[in-house]
Amino acid sequence: MIDLYTWTTPNGRKVSILLEELGVPYEAHAVDITAGAQFDPKFLEISPNNKIPAIRDRDTGVVMMESGSILIYLAEKYGKFMPQEDRLEILEWLMWQMAGFGPILGQAHHFLKYNAGKSPYAEARYSEEARRLYGVLDRRLQGRDYIVGEYSIADMACWPWASRYEWQQIDLADYPNLRAWYRRIAARPAVQRGYHVPAKVNEIPQG
């Protein structure tokens, strides 16, 4: 049994989507980051960086923060979504998401959606970089159904960030390979379940 500490954000959804895909038992605990629950001293014991997601594995005693490492841990534990022959490339694209696609799009949300008009420099910077990153992923997906080989944790890491394309002022029509990939993944029943953990706050954008 896995305890998942999460909220309705891309980093949280990565893990709930993987758990749904794995079909393993888990219990989701809502950590309302809009109300400051991430600073609760009890939560800090499992997530010292004050951020969701985090897990506790009741079988092994493992406690872990950071969505990328959680995806790797669970994929290795259950032997799924990171086949040995594709391991290095999957890690490469997972790190690309963790270091670029996620953080840059997170800043785009701040400046393009929540604080529009406050910093034209930041708006231009993050919107340009967001477009560049969407272009990188679109080129990668040319002639491929998934980022590396079969559907893997690299896709599960990137997809929830792409699902906020409207917040990032991205038109998926400009990235046809990426849009086909986005819709392919959005159609998966496990993704549809995992997206609405720990609560349903909106429909999945259809791309």
Ligand X SMILES: N[C@@H](CCC(=O)N[C@@H](CS)C(=O)NCC(=O)O)C(=O)O
Q: Of the candidates 32, 40, 57, 66, which one interacts with ligand X according to CB under 6 A?
A: 66
**Residue bearing tokens 């599960």:** 156
Q: Of the candidates 5, 18, 19, 51, which one interacts with ligand X according to CB under 6 A?
A: 51
**Residue bearing tokens 């014991």:** 45
Is residue 6 involved in binding ligand X (CB under 6 A)? no
Is residue 179 involved in binding ligand X (CB under 6 A)? no
Q: Is the dihedral of CA 153, 108, 46, 40 positive or negative?
A: negative
Number of C-alpha atoms within 13 angstroms, CB side, residue 12? Answer: 23
Q: What minimum distance in Å lies between the beta carbon of 11 and ligand X?
A: 4
44 φ, ψ (degrees, to nearest 5) = -60, -25
The tokens for 112 are: 């393009």
The tokens for 33 are: 């980051």
Is residue 107 involved in binding ligand X (CB under 6 A)? no
Is residue 11 involved in binding ligand X (CB under 6 A)? yes
> Site residues for ligand X, window 31-50 (CB under 6 A)?
33, 38, 50
Q: Which residues bind ligand X (CB under 6 A)?
A: 9-11, 33, 38, 50-53, 66-68
